[in-house]
A and B are shown apart, each in its own frame.
Chain A
Amino acid sequence: MKRTPVGIALAVALAVALPGLVLLCASVGETFEPPARVLRALLAHVGLAENLAEPDQTILMLRLWRALTAAGVGGALALSGALLQGLFRNPLAAPSLIGVTGGASLGATLAILYLGGYGVGLVASRGFALGALLVPLCAFLGAIFTVAVVGVLAAPRGRISTSTLLLFGIAVNMCVAGVFAAIQSLVLRDWEVSRAIMSWTFGTLDDRTGLHVATIWTALVLSMTVIPMVALELDLFQGGEDDAKSLGVAVGRTKLLGLLAATLAAASATAVAGQIAFLGLIVPHMVRLIASPRHRVLLPLCVLAGAVFLVSADLCQRAIFGEGRLQPGVLMSLVGGPFFVYLLVKKRREVGAW
C-alpha cells in the first residue's frame, strides 16, 4: 500500500520538535535558563555530568519533570482519544466526554484522600511505593468502572449511537461530579488534601516528580504495545462491527485490547496530571485531517502530536501568563469547549438524524 508521505513528514517533524520543546519548556519559569543548562541538569541527574549549583539543579529538574509529565500526558490522552473514536466509530468519543477522565479522577481522589496528598513531600512521607502504585491503580479502576457502566448502559446490543453515547457520558459525569463535590466539601478543612484534590479539577502540572514521569510513560508505552494489534482492525471497524467480523476481525478481542489501552492511558494521565479535558478530542481530529484516518498512521502520530501539543500549550501559557497563573487543564477547556461546539455544529445533521 502507498505510504502517506504527509504522515511520515509529520512524524519526523514532531519527533524532532518534541525534545527541543521539552527543553525549552523547562527553560521558562521565574527565571529563564538557557536550554543547554537544562540539558546539563538532566545529564547531571543521570550521573553523566556534575550537578549544577543548588538550587538551580533542583529547580531545573522540577521543571524537566513537569515538561516530561506534560509530554507523556499529552501523548496518552491523544492515543486514548484516537482509540476510543475508532472503537466507538464516533468522532465525538473522547476520554473526558464518556466518563473515563471523571472516573479516573474519582478513583485517584479517593486514593489521595487515603494517602493525605500526592505532592512532592506528602507521598514520600506516607510510603513512596504505596503512593506510586495506589493513585494510578485507583484511577485505573475508577476509569474501568465508568467505561463499563457507560458501555453496558449505552450499548445493550453492542451498537452505540452518537446521542446515546454523549447522553450517557453526561449522565455518568454528573454522577461522578456529585460524589466529587461531596468529597470536596467533606475535606474542605484539611488544607493539604483539599488543595491536592482541587488542583485535579483544573488539571495540574505543578510539583511533578520522577514518580509521575515514570508512571505516565510506563502506562503510555504499555498502551502503545496494542497499536499493532488493533490498527488494521480499527480501520475495518468503521463499517460496523458485523462488517469487521465478516472480514475476519476478532471483534471482541480488538474491543477488549483497545478499551484496556485507552483506559490505561487516560487513567494514568489523569492520575498524574488531573483532569485535562478535550485534548483527546482535538489532537486525533487534527492528525486525521492533516495526515490520514488510517489507524496505523493515526495512532502513533497521535502519541507524538499529543505530546507536542500539551508541552507547547504549557510552554505558551507560562510564557504568556507567567508561572502558576493558569493551569493547562483550564487552558484546554478554554480552547476545547469551543472546538467541541464546532464539531457538534459540523456533525449537526448526523446527530439530528439519530
Chain B
Amino acid sequence: MVNPLAAKGLRFAYPGPVPALEGVDLEVNSGELFVVIGPNGSGKSTLLRCLAGLLEPTGGEVLLCGTPYNQLSPRQRALAVAVVPQFLPTLPDVRVLDFVLGGRYAHLARFRGPSQEDVGIAHRALALCDADDVGQRRVDELSGGQRQRVLIARALSQEAGVLLVDEPTNSLDPEHQVRVFELLSRLAHQGKSVVVVTHDLALSGQFADRLMLMSKGRTVVDGSVERVLTPDVLGPIYGPHLFFGSLPGPGGGARPYALPWLTAEGQRP
C-alpha cells in the first residue's frame, strides 16, 4: 500500500549558513499517531511546514499517496492534508461555526458558499472535538483550550486523511493538554494519519504510536516510544536534565515518559 504521506530526502535552507533540513525521509501510515520531537532548531517546524506545502523544499520531495506535491494545486492538497496551526497571527472576527466552515473551502464549488451539508459536517466536526457548545460564540472570545479544539474541528471539517498538528499543547493547562492528545489519538485510531510536532516528552510517551527524534535537520531515530524515550537516545540530544520513568498508559500496558528535571542527572528508571 502507498503511504498517505511520505517525504524523500527532504532538504530546506533558510537564508543563512545553517540548513534547516538536511535530507529527511519519512513515511506516515494510516491510523497512526506519529509524533516528531527534537530540541529547538532541530527542524521539526520546518519539516511540518514542508509537509503542509507552506514551504517549497530546496531538495527532495513530499509525496501525497505517491504523487509529488508540486503536481497538486493548493485545493487538491487541502482535500488530502489538513493543518492545525499552533496559533493564528490574527483571530478572524467571526462565529466559531463560520470559522470551522472555512475548512470546507476546498470542497466548495467555485463561486458557491457552503451548503446545508457543509454546515452539518462542520457541526459534526465540532461535536467530535467536544466543542459543539461554542458554535455560536465568536472565535476571539474562546479560551486557549477551546480555541485549540476549534482549530482541530476546522481541520476535521476538511475531511482530509492526513492531519498535521503543530505544538497543540503550548499554553494549555494539564487537563486540556491530556484531552487534546487523547482526541488526536482517537482520530488516528479511527483511521486518520496524524502527525504531531511537540516538545512534550511525557504526552508523546503516553499517546504516540511512533516517535521520530530530530536533531540538526536530520532524523536521529524513528521508532516505537520504548525505543526512543531512553536515556541513551535522548541524553546526547537533550542533555542530562531528563528524568525517565514509566506509567500505565491509556491502553493498559506500561508507557515510558521523560520529564525535564534539573537534578535528574544519572537517574535511571
Interface residues of A (CB under 8 A from B): 1, 89, 159, 228-229, 232-233, 235-236, 238-240, 242-243, 245-251, 293-294, 296
Contacts and interface: CB of A to CB of B under 8 A. Distances in A.
A239 B108 contact: no
Interface in B87-105: 88-94, 98, 101-103, 105
Interface of B is mostly: loop
A229 B118 CA distance: 20
Q: For the side of the interface on B, what is the size category?
A: 35 or more
Interface of B: 52-54, 73-75, 77-79, 81-83, 85, 88-94, 98, 101-103, 105-106, 108, 110-111, 113-115, 118-119, 158
B83 A246 contact: yes
B89 A239 contact: yes
B53 A246 contact: yes
A1 B79 contact: no
B105 A236 contact: yes
A246 B78 contact: yes
A248 B119 CA distance: 18
Contacts of B113: 1, 232, 296
A243 B88 contact: yes
A236 B89 CA distance: 13
Contact of B158 (A228, A238, A247): A247
A248 B75 contact: yes
Contacts of A293: 93-94
B170 to A, nearest CB: 17
10 nearest interchain CB pairs?
A248-B78, A248-B106, A246-B83, A238-B92, A239-B88, A248-B75, A240-B89, A228-B111, A1-B114, A247-B105
Contacts of B106: 247-248
A181 to B, nearest CB: 38
Nearest to A159: B89
Given A246-B83, A248-B77, A250-B73, A232 B89 contact: no
A228 B114 CA distance: 14
A236 B101 contact: no
A305 B53 CA distance: 39
A240 B90 contact: yes
A1 B119 contact: yes
A243 B93 CA distance: 15
A232 B103 CA distance: 12
B102 A251 contact: no
A296 B119 CA distance: 17
A242 B102 CA distance: 14
6 contacts: A238-B90, A238-B92, A239-B85, A239-B102, A247-B106, A293-B93
Contacts of B102: 235-236, 239, 247
B74 A248 contact: yes
A247 B103 contact: yes
Given A236-B102, A249-B74, A296-B113, A89 B90 contact: yes
Between A89, A240, A243, the greatest number of chain B beta carbons within 10 A of the residue's beta carbon is seen for: A243
A276 B154 CA distance: 41
B182 to A, nearest CB: 24
